[in-house]
Structure formats: structure tokens, C-alpha cells
Amino acid sequence: MDEKSLIKKYQKEISELKQELQQLKRGMVENPNMATSSQEDLITLKLQGCADAYILDYLISVTVLGGRLYNMPE
């Protein structure tokens, strides 16, 4: 898989994670009376989504830098 394909793949995954995070946030706002354990579960999912997005951002950066290094003249 080439650099551009990887970047597009990771960008799509980041976008999907951000959408999931927004849905979780809306669920917490729309239903503030939910049980505490459910809120804790949502917070855990939110943090996991943020971590996943961070990892994908990192992978995109590594891919881009790797491509730049590969294409540098010796």
C-alpha cells in the first residue's frame, strides 16, 4: 500500500472515530439522568476513541515522514 493510500485510510478511520465521539457526547447531553455506570462506560469509550485518533494521527505522521526520507537524495 502506498503512502497516499495509507494516509487516506487513516484519515477515514480518524473521521469515523470523531463521528463516534460526537455521537457519544450527544448521548451524554441528551440523557443526563443515565446511570453513573453508563456515564463511566461512555467516558471510557470517549477516552479510547481519543487515544485511537491520536494513534492514527501518529501513524499518518510516521508514514509521511518515512515517505519524505525515502525520497530524499542521498
- Mapping DSSP to helix (H, G, I), strand (E, B) and coil, where does residue 33 land? coil
Averaged pLDDT in 10-residue chunks for the chain of 74 residues? 79 82 68 61 77 81 81 73
Please tell me the predicted confidence (pLDDT) of residue 59. Answer: 83
Residues in the chain: 74
Question: What is the distance between the alpha carbons of residues 3 and 71, in angstroms, rounded to a whole number?
Answer: 12
Q: Which three cell numbers stand for residue 11?
A: 484519515
Q: Where are the domains positioned within the chain?
A: 3-71
